[in-house]
Structure 1
Amino acid sequence: MPATLAQLLARPELDLRLLTPAGVGALDTPVPWAHSSELADPTPFLSPGQVLLITGTPEEVDPYVERLVSHGIAGLGFGTEVVRAGTPEPLVEACTRHGLPLFEVPYRTPFIAIARFFADRVAADQYARNTWALRASRAISLAALRPDPLAAVLSELARQIDRPVALIGADGALDRIAPSGALRAEAREALRAAADPLLRSRRRAAGSATTDAGPFALQTLGAAGRLRGVLAVGSDGLDQAAQQVVTGVVALAGLALEQSRAADAARSRLRTSVWRALLAGETELAAAVAEPALGPLPEPPVRVTALTGTALAAATDWLETNGGGFFARDGHELVLLESASADAAPAAELAARFGLRGGVSGPAPLTGLRAALGQAEVARGRASADDPVPAFDDVAAAGMLALLQTPDARAVATTALAPLTEADPTLPGTLRMWLDCDGVYDVAAKRLGMHRHTLRARVAEAERLLGRDLSGFAARADLYAALRAAG
């Protein structure tokens, strides 16, 4: 910590003498530096908290002292026998009146000796903090060798910096707090809320949070696209040395989390193998392999959810903590296997959190997973921003014609109907009404408000334009499908 004005005045070799009363000013305030200047207004060149040294008497003493106090100058030293002998009494009175400590510097004490006193203290303080940082970093590195390295590192960091430390996992839940019980529920919730947007961004980033336990600095852990969590460190009053120690812990914590990735990768490969065994119909083998390592398979009947997107890796990490059923990554798909009676909310939450699209199959036995996967993929084709994970049951209930509402079907239908729309834009609507009326001219003509012979002529014109005979069911069904797809 920098030296104080009281410590400066106590140095016998400097032979300084306090001229203002002892209660004037704050003599115990740390002073970072001493600077000399004879300018009428030196404040633009001074920082608050410094000591100013002068040898001449200001022309206007009271305004001069008032400017120094307003700028936050900690003390004023007057060098005697350079310009004049003794310190001017008006200066002593002004400093006493405005609360600025004033001390006298004898001729034999150079100003550089005062500046050096403060500089030596700053250097000693910096050396002490650097030494502390090295020792703290060494203690934290040794903690990383313990059986639970991550918990040991965070606990040691909290002890070294005397600030609370928390780890928010990739799932957004508060994973660890050091020291234990350091944060109340409100502070924990504030940290989770601040970490959530950092995790959702899936990029390396930093942030901050204000809690009832003080301010916290937040830093993501892990690689972009696959964040492993967020480290939250109490940041109130941390100096540069402490921040360097925290930076080292960010690297160590990231390394500790990355070390678990090999085990996660092996676990992921096991899941994929179990899933492929299920697809091959080897349910007994899959259940025997899954139960000791991954837990029991869901009770049939089951539903299959098939998800795709750019953040499958991050979604898989999230499921490791939050997943209730069986899941596996197979190529560019993430599949979830859950009992048919289970809530479908986890799939919707997963899709919303990581920007995925998917579909849910109907109920199926474990021996029918290949067909169920096909249903899930069909449902995924109907996914939209409003419904990112539709159910196959809803798709099937909408009927076959609902499957025509796709960009591919719409493009084909628009091309097929182009001769009609180019000749008469109202002709597709006329044909749609005719087909809706089961091809009965009298009924359709009445609804269209035209004579039945006129309608027959328009249908004949459509046959000519399309080059097709619309008297048969197949041709009518194909035309109706095109009209529905074109919208």
Structure 2
Amino acid sequence: MVSLAQLSNELGDALRPAAPGPAPGIQLSGVHVSELADPGAYLEGGELLLTTGIPLGGTADAVDDYVRRLAAKGVAALGLGLGEGLDTVPPELVRACSAEGVELLVVPDGVPFLDVSRMFWELASRSDQAGLIANLGTQTALARATMRADALPSVVKGLAQALGGWVAYLPAGDGTEATVWPASALSLLPHLKLETTRLNVAGTHSAATFWLHGTPVVEYPILVGGRIDGFLAIGSGRTLTKADRQIITTVCVLLALKAQQRDELLGTTAVLGSVVAKLIARGQVEAARLVAGDGNLGPLPERVRVLAARIPTADSLPTLAGAVSRLQLADGGSPPAAAVASCILRYDEDAVAYFVLDAGLAQPEPAGLQGDEPDDGGLLAWAGPAVPAGPAGALGSGTADVETAAAWTEPLTLEDVAGAMAALRRAAVAAPAGALVGMAADDEARADAWIATLAAYPRAELLETVAAYLRHQGRWEDASRQLNVHRNSLRHRMAVAERLLGVALDDPDVAAHLWLALRRRGL
């Protein structure tokens, strides 16, 4: 935009105020030349109108009427060219312009109106070029901010500063907090969320404007593949210019690209996590470690708990993690919601979903002490690179709670997972709806858990010891001979094994199930 002060300063004596003093800094929309008595049909408002005085009519009333018509049309200033019809500025014109708030300037004799018009457009060109440079600089800075780890806060802050107002990004789904800058705009969030929810339900795919506390707010949807990922709400407290809208459009594109990259990363991570989980379940632990390392999933935990959950319907897997987190343990507690929701080592097979959980994180939550439900909208690695949250509601709350049931193992080494999978599946299929049962609910599962406990003992080969003892039906001499240890050493090892398992290995039921489990493992 070009101001009247800029134009007057550039032209000097060729365009000077009729009254002593500098020209005001009002913005001009253009320069127009007309000798019509009523040029309003050719004006839009904000112009500097140049005339030689022909329309003034020669009387005070005619002058008043003329200036009144210009003011009604919103003319910013009147430039009177001297020399053709008038040699001086009529006093009645000075009085009328002052009364109507129209600035009056003088173009001296011999100065063509074309000089004024040319200077206006030259200044306008300079202004547009400067605005373009500033605009490009802002867009470049915002593009760089998008590449940062904290991309969303950086972009929101940069846009708010560029527009001189406040900006908020509100995810389309529930559970994820909005990003707002400056902090003083946080008080607007409840009203913004209500309006955003309405727009999201309506599936609005174009910009929308609404009033908030007496000021207009413009909200733009961030679209990813036809899906609304979130909304960018802007309150600038002024009319947005063309340059402002270009910056906002750039930000919307950048945020959409960032969201698309996040979705692609989540998709890749989910596929790799599924592959790693299947390799572990099939006993290919070293291959699982290699894939996890090459896929930047971070180091695998050394001890895990595997959770198996029934999938009620073919299309309920996306909501299953949320449903599992609300199952009930026998003691009234609940599964570790955060560990389940953030688990990336998971896959489904034959209507059962499997979650390989870090045993250090997979601790049951006691009854009455459960925290708020986790945000099921993202998949986070237990270690290694942070994975951004996925599309809002990707896991959701689900409606399959009544039909879902699950079972999980005690802590196992990765090498022991494969041997527990068959029993784990049977326990999950047999579990009552709405419950999460331990492997002890199934005799075979319990025996597999015993084997895992014996195999994990670090100071003696308890698993081989118990296998030899059962193979020889409790005959100490034969078992110790096979193991090549003294009979007293064998007795000590068996006592340690019984203490670890909390059972008597001479009990026929215990011995029978444990022996069958050993045979399934080839021991």
**TM-score class normalised by the smaller sequence:** 0.5 to 0.7
Structure 2 counterpart of 1:480:
none
Distance in 1, matches of 2:111 and 2:321, equals 68
Report how far residue 107 of structure 1 moved. Answer: 2.3
**Larger deviation: 357-366 or 154-163?**
357-366
Structure 1 counterpart of 2:403:
361
Letter of the 2:140 counterpart: R
* Within-5 A mapping of 1:151-300: 151-173=153-175, 175=177, 177=179, 179=181, 181-184=183-186, 186-200=187-201, 204-211=205-212, 215-224=216-225, 226-237=227-238, 238-269=240-271
- 2:51 equivalent to 1:54: yes
SS of equivalent to 2:56: coil
Once the two structures are superposed, what CA deviation does each residue of 1:44-74 show, in whole Å capped at 9, x if it has no partner?
A: 2112211111111433222111111122211
Report how far residue 129 of structure 1 moved. Answer: 0.8
SS of equivalent to 2:121: helix
Contact 1:33/1:50 (8 A) holds in 2: yes
Once the two structures are superposed, what CA deviation does each residue of 1:190-229 show, in whole Å capped at 9, x if it has no partner?
A: 2322332444456744334544595443233342454433
* Within-5 A mapping of 1:438-449: none
Distance in 2, matches of 1:158 and 1:182, equals 12
Evaluate the alpha carbon distance shift between residue 102 and residue 343 of structure 1 in structure 2; reply closer, same or farther with a 3 A threshold: closer
* Alignment gaps of 5+ in structure 2: 284-288, 327-336, 356-361, 376-391, 409-422, 436-523
Once the two structures are superposed, what CA deviation does each residue of 1:258-286 show, in whole Å capped at 9, x if it has no partner?
A: 222243224434675799899x999xxxx
Once the two structures are superposed, what CA deviation does each residue of 1:173-204 show, in whole Å capped at 9, x if it has no partner?
A: 564535462422x3122232233244445674
Report how far residue 86 of structure 1 moved. Answer: 2.8
Evaluate the alpha carbon distance shift between residue 87 and residue 331 of structure 1 in structure 2; reply closer, same or farther with a 3 A threshold: farther
Structure 1 counterpart of 2:17:
18
- 2:26 equivalent to 1:29: yes
Evaluate the alpha carbon distance shift between residue 50 and residue 306 of structure 1 in structure 2; reply closer, same or farther with a 3 A threshold: farther
Structure 1 counterpart of 2:68:
66
Contact 2:29/2:45 (8 A) holds in 1: no
For residue 80 of structure 1, the aligned residue among 54, 79, 82 is 82
Report how far residue 128 of structure 1 moved. Answer: 0.7
Contact 1:19/1:102 (8 A) holds in 2: yes
Once the two structures are superposed, what CA deviation does each residue of 1:284-332 show, in whole Å capped at 9, x if it has no partner?
A: xxxx9999989x99999x98574666x987x79999x997573678599
Letter of the 2:27 counterpart: P
**Larger deviation: 156-165 or 237-246?**
156-165
* Within-5 A mapping of 1:263-412: 263-269=265-271, 306=312, 326=340, 358=400, 360-361=402-403, 365-366=407-408
Contact 2:166/2:180 (8 A) holds in 1: yes
Distance in 2, matches of 1:86 and 1:149, equals 63
Contact 1:133/1:245 (8 A) holds in 2: yes
Distance in 1, matches of 2:185 and 2:44, equals 37
Structure 2 counterpart of 1:2:
2
Letter of the 1:218 counterpart: E
Report how far residue 108 of structure 1 moved. Answer: 1.0
Report how far residue 89 of structure 1 moved. Answer: 3.8
Structure 2 counterpart of 1:102:
104
Distance in 2, matches of 1:207 and 1:293, equals 47
Report how far residue 40 of structure 1 moved. Answer: 1.7
Contact 1:360/1:375 (8 A) holds in 2: no
RMSD: 5.2
Distance in 1, matches of 2:139 and 2:350, equals 42
Evaluate the alpha carbon distance shift between residue 333 and residue 87 of structure 1 in structure 2; reply closer, same or farther with a 3 A threshold: farther
Distance in 1, matches of 2:140 and 2:20, equals 48
Report how far residue 16 of structure 1 moved. Answer: 3.5
Contact 1:304/1:336 (8 A) holds in 2: no
TM-score (norm 2): 0.54
Letter of the 1:119 counterpart: W
Structure 1 counterpart of 2:505:
none
Report how far residue 88 of structure 1 moved. Answer: 3.5
SS of equivalent to 1:252: helix
Report how far residue 147 of structure 1 moved. Answer: 3.7
Structure 1 counterpart of 2:95:
93
Structure 1 counterpart of 2:133:
131
Contact 2:167/2:234 (8 A) holds in 1: yes
* Alignment gaps of 5+ in structure 1: 283-287, 380-390, 393-487
Report how far residue 36 of structure 1 moved. Answer: 1.1
Letter of the 2:118 counterpart: R
Report how far residue 345 of structure 1 moved. Answer: 9.8
TM-score (norm 1): 0.58
Distance in 1, matches of 2:227 and 2:351, equals 17
Report how far residue 122 of structure 1 moved. Answer: 1.7
Report how far residue 165 of structure 1 moved. Answer: 2.9
Distance in 1, matches of 2:92 and 2:229, equals 67
SS of equivalent to 2:185: coil
Distance in 2, matches of 1:375 and 1:225, equals 40
SS of equivalent to 2:234: strand
Once the two structures are superposed, what CA deviation does each residue of 1:311-363 show, in whole Å capped at 9, x if it has no partner?
A: 987x79999x997573678599997999998999999xx99x98987562265
Report how far residue 42 of structure 1 moved. Answer: 0.7
Contact 1:165/1:232 (8 A) holds in 2: yes
Contact 1:14/1:109 (8 A) holds in 2: no
Report how far residue 130 of structure 1 moved. Answer: 0.2
Once the two structures are superposed, what CA deviation does each residue of 1:226-260 show, in whole Å capped at 9, x if it has no partner?
A: 44333333444332223222222222222222222
Higher relative contact order (CA 8 A, sep 6+): 2
Distance in 2, matches of 1:194 and 1:95, equals 46
Q: Tell me the matched-pair count.
A: 366
Letter of the 1:48 counterpart: G
Report how far residue 157 of structure 1 moved. Answer: 3.3
Distance in 1, matches of 2:207 and 2:11, equals 49
Letter of the 2:263 counterpart: R
Evaluate the alpha carbon distance shift between residue 145 and residue 187 of structure 1 in structure 2; reply closer, same or farther with a 3 A threshold: same
Contact 1:32/1:118 (8 A) holds in 2: no
Letter of the 2:145 counterpart: A
**Larger deviation: 248-257 or 29-38?**
248-257
Q: Taking every aligned residue pair, what percent have the same amino acid on both sides?
A: 25
Report how far residue 127 of structure 1 moved. Answer: 0.7
Report how far residue 35 of structure 1 moved. Answer: 0.6
Distance in 1, matches of 2:132 and 2:349, equals 50
Letter of the 1:18 counterpart: P
SS of equivalent to 1:47: coil
Evaluate the alpha carbon distance shift between residue 160 and residue 291 of structure 1 in structure 2; reply closer, same or farther with a 3 A threshold: closer
Letter of the 2:17 counterpart: L
